[in-house]
């Protein structure tokens, strides 16, 4: 079975059992799913750990974006280590590809404080930001770049932001996932790269992402299930099924997504912002 970017999509129809705990909460028209995976099994391929999924309707006005960013901040705080002094925020993805530029666009809006002295920073930790690009641009594994920076800067936690893939059309641009298990860049579109996690970086890694694309394979499968026509999948070639799709309005929506992710991270890391 293929590992899905969204852990929620693996367990949405499974009640809590010996392998996982799944709890759903509601807040201001948002559904928040708190999932803890204890171990993998035949159905669950995501790594053991905590996953929080935030489902929202849209981000078309300022108040909605503020509400979503508040939820992001609170969920992120629960996964952050205590007494953090230094944070490295890594914006993953290709700045030149709209649907894959969420990470760099979010990183651009993070408040950087690592270069400031303590009298100016106040109670907030040192925050450093990195947008390493993708292997096709640099020729270097993204995880190795972040690994080198982490070894040099020695942050207490790395927050990695990336675009994710979903298997459901309704979730594109409407789901945020936060996890303490790290991230496997490109896994959702069958382009696996070196993982970003505590094992590879030797530091706690929290991943954050939004489902901005889905594979043609999952799109066709979803629609054929509705029409009871799964047999037609056999006529599709591997190259056709490996393509990914994203909505035509991704340009505008991505700007709002990057805004709420950055605002949520800033609120979680800088106490003064949460009090406003």
3-state secondary structure 87-122: EEEEECCCCCCHHHCHHHHHHCCCCCCCCCCHHHHC
Q: How far is CA 32 from CA 46, 51, 111, 121, 209, in A?
A: 19, 10, 26, 32, 15
Residue 64 binned pLDDT confidence (cut-offs 50, 70, 90): very high
Q: What is residue 276's predicted lDDT score, i.e. its pLDDT?
A: 57
Q: How far is CA 28 from CA 61, 173, 182, 235, 260, in A?
A: 14, 18, 28, 44, 15
Residue 199 to residue 182: CA distance in whole angstroms: 9
Query: pTM to 2 decimals?
Result: 0.87
Residue 142 to residue 270: CA distance in whole angstroms: 27
Q: Which residue has the tokens 């909505």?
A: 247
Q: Is the confidence at residue 13, as pLDDT, over 60?
A: yes
CB 158 within 8 A of CB 148: no
Give, rounded to a whole angstrom, the gap between the first and last alpha carbons of the chain: 46
pLDDT tens-digit profile of 146-197?
Answer: 999 999 999 999 999 999 988 888 899 999 999 999 987 655 445 566 889 9
Residue 91 to residue 100: CA distance in whole angstroms: 10
DSSP 148-198: HHHHHH--SEEEEEEEEEES-GGGTTTEEEEESS-B-TTGGGT-----BSH
Q: What is residue 188's predicted lDDT score, i.e. its pLDDT?
A: 45
pLDDT tens-digit profile of 232-249?
Answer: 555 555 555 556 667 677
Q: Nearest-CA neighbor of 162 among 99, 68, 250?
A: 99
Q: Nearest-CA neighbor of 263 among 273, 271, 253?
A: 273
Domains and their CATH numbers in the chain: 7-271 (3.40.50.1450)
Pairing relationship of beta strands 126-130 and 86-91 according to DSSP bridges? parallel
């Amino acid at each position: 079975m293929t590992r899905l970017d969204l852990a929620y999509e693996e367990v949405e129809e499974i009640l809590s059992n010996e392998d996982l705990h799944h709890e759903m909460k509601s807040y201001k028209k948002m559904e928040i799913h708190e999932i803890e995976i204890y171990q993998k099994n035949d159905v669950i391929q995501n790594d053991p750990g905590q996953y929080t999924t935030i489902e929202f309707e849209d981000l078309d006005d300022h108040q909605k974006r503020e509400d979503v960013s508040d939820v992001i901040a609170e969920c992120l705080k629960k996964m952050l280590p205590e007494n953090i002094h230094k944070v490295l925020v890594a914006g993953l993805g290709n700045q030149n590809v709209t649907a894959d530029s969420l990470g760099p666009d979010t990183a651009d809006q993070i408040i950087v404080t690592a270069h400031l002295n303590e009298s100016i920073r106040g109670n907030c930790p040192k925050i450093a930001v990195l947008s390493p690009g993708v292997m096709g641009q640099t020729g270097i594994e993204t995880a190795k770049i972040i690994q080198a920076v982490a070894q040099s800067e020695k942050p207490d936690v790395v927050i990695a932001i990336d675009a994710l893939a979903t298997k459901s059309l309704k979730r594109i641009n409407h789901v945020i996932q936060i996890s303490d298990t790290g991230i496997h860049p490109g896994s959702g579109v069958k382009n696996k790269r070196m993982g970003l996690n505590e094992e590879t970086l030797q530091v706690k890694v929290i991943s954050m992402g939004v489902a901005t694309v889905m594979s043609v394979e999952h799109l066709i499968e979803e629609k054929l299930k509705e029409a009871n026509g799964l047999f037609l999948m056999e006529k599709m070639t591997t190259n056709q099924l490996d393509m990914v799709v994203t909505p035509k309005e991704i340009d505008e929506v991505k700007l709002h997504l990057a805004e709420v992710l950055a605002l949520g991270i800033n609120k979680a890391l800088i106490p003064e912002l949460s009090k406003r």
